[in-house]
Structure 1
Amino acid sequence: MSDPFLGEIQLYAFQFAPTNWAYCAGQLVPLSQYTALFSLLGINYGGNGQSNFGLPNFQSFAACAVGQGPGLTERILGETFGSESVTLISTEMPQHTHAVNFYAQRDNTKRQVGPSNGSALVSPNNSSIFVQSAPVSGTFPATSVTVNPGNQAHPNQQPYLAMNFCISLQGAFPSRP
């Protein structure tokens, strides 16, 4: 693009910011050097507004429109929200049970009290490990399977493609309609 607007943000698929563009990495820039850009961005993305101001930061963030859609929370310019990981606690997990049936195995050669080292459920072509069409012998109690999130965080991100967001440091000052 030959004549970008000042403050315009573009995606680039290469490893450098073009001349008169800067990475959108949240860095602070001197207000005295970029007064026109400061008049557009203010301190929405950081800085003290006296000697510096921040550029937008797209590191680990996705873009989101400003405003409020029907039934959605309002989003203001420069606001960050969301998280890269979430730790569930037991009160956030829905209450439910799992019925686990077990069947009596009448062939003693196929019985085990518990799995031994290296054992797995397999069925050779000429043998069945379970009794064919056997009635259910019982159900494990609901306490056999419990809610235990383990306080371990899990990733909570949409899929991403890493590219460079850059902001124009020079260009035509955008006019208001």
Structure 2
Amino acid sequence: MDPFVGEVRLFPYNYIPSGWMRCDGTVLPIQTNAVLYAVIGLAYGSAGANTFKLPNLNGRAAVGAGVSKTGTTWQLAQPTGADTVQLNVNNLPQHNHGLNVIPSVTASTAINAPANNVVPTQPTRVTLYNKAADTSLSSETLAPAGGSAPMNIMQPYQTLVYCIAVQGIYPPHP
């Protein structure tokens, strides 16, 4: 069965089948690709008055156009997303980290191992934490962890080749 012009398929080959082109954002002249241009137009861009672009699905997953179950609207040809993201306070949900502290105790009742998010006191009768005093911890007490490199957020994937039919049947309108 011949494909519809403009149809996009995944291929597992290391070559592009005849009548298809790779979906890599290639710029094509309108004059020699009039049928494909009539189907997809300038939805994926243009590099001038006499050219149009193929969709670019390199490193991208295709998402169905329309409104998702969560209410997100996806427009045809809308590119979005990233392979990596730099995590920072702006893209983390608001949250708190509780820290419970045992006030100074005698050496006989001090604990030497933390449990249940509790920081033990030193068994030296020295008041390390005192409710009557300033209960703010020094800015040096806790430090950021992790690295400064962007974090990979891509889902597991298998690399295949997205191609668009440049020859075939003109798709009928409803």
The TM-score, its normalising length taken from structure 2, stands at 0.71
Alpha carbons 1:12, 1:166 under 8 Å: kept? yes
Question: Which sections of structure 2, spanning at least 5 residues, go unmatched?
Answer: 102-109, 121-128, 130-136
* Distance in 2 between residues matched to 1:153 and 1:98, nearest whole Å: 29
Higher relative contact order (CA 8 A, sep 6+): 1
Identical residues among aligned pairs (%): 28
Cα deviation, residue 151, structure 1: 3.4
**Gap change, CA 1:49 and 1:8, over 3 Å in 2:** farther
Q: Note the alpha carbon deviations across 1:96-135, whole angstroms, 9 max, x for none.
A: 14679xxxxxxxxxxxxxxxxxxxxxxxxxxxxxxxxxx7
Q: CA shift at 1:50, angstroms? A: 2.4
Task: Count residues with an aligned counterpart.
Answer: 144
Inter-partner Cα distance in structure 2 for 1:78 and 1:149: 36
Match of 1:31 in 2: 30
Q: What is the letter of the counterpart of residue 96 of structure 2?
A: Q
2:111 corresponds to: 136
Structure 1 portions without partners, runs of 5+ = 101-134
Post-superposition CA distance 1:132-171 (Å, at most 9, x none): xxx7326169764434454331001111100111111111
Question: Does residue 5 of the first structure (1) align with residue 11 of the second (2)?
Answer: no
Q: Residues 51-70 of structure 1: matches in 2 within 5 Å?
A: 51-70=50-69
SS at match of 1:37: helix
Aligned-CA RMSD value: 2.7
Shift, 1:47, TM fit: 1.1
User: Pick from 146, 152, 157: which aligns with 1:155?
Assistant: 152
- TM-superposed CA distance for 1:59, in Å, is 0.5
Task: Give the 3 Å change call, closer, same or farther, for CA 147–41 of structure 1 in structure 2.
Answer: same
CA contact (8 A) 2:27 2:47 kept: no
TM-score by length of 1: 0.70
- Within 5 Å, give how 1:1-177 maps onto structure 2: 2-48=1-47, 50-93=49-92, 94-97=95-98, 136-137=111-112, 139=119, 144-148=141-145, 150-177=147-174
1:119 equivalent in structure 2: none
Given that 1:31 and 1:50 are in contact with CA atoms closer than 8 Å, whether structure 2 keeps it comes out as: no
Pick closer, same or farther for the CA change 1:81–1:91 going to 2, 3 Å: closer
